[in-house]
Amino acid sequence: MIEDQIGLSFRDLIELRFVQAFLAVGISLQAIRVCLAHAKAELQSDRPFASRRFKTDGRTIFLESLEHAGDPHMLDLRKKQYVMKDVIEQSFKDLDLEDDEVMRWRPFRGRDSIVLDPKRSFGQPIASRSGVPTIVLADSVVAEGSVARVSAIFEVDKSSVADSVEFEKELMNR
């Protein structure tokens, strides 16, 4: 690895995604740090945010309690007290979960066409059905001048090629 680069695992990336999401709804970085420390202790995990058990109401972060798995209660990680689950229910529409773990992330508006999966193509963004990296499809459209042509060359549906182009454009504009 080049000295100036930082290496991130898939779990690191998912943790950062959660931190970004919590920041976006107005939770302070200080509050996130407190909640993260409590979550690490509660779950006995170095990467607790890479779990489907977190929700937010925009003020704090909640964790579904293992002790109350059948109850509609969640643990407020800031105050370390239980609250009613239905008060803070929030979906995780762009994550694919298996056995309570985040396995894949659909980063392009939650669509199924593009996925980050650490078990495929080293976790880089790919067209989900074909596995072709989005950057390859987007660059090929520039080179070939046509979504239809790239679709035929790589045997990838046109909508996935078009989504790959838009996704890569959005990445460049961040």
Going from N- to C-terminal start, the domains of the chain cover 10-103, 114-172
pLDDT tens for 149-172 read: 999 999 999 999 999 999 999 988
Name which of 40-44, 67-71, 86-90, 124-128 the model is least confident about: 86-90
pLDDT at 103: 85
174: pLDDT strictly greater than 90: no
pLDDT at 61: 67
Residue type (1 letter), 114: I
C-alpha span between 13 and 78 (Å, rounded): 23
Which has the higher per-residue pLDDT, 94 or 71? 94
C-alpha span between 147 and 156 (Å, rounded): 10
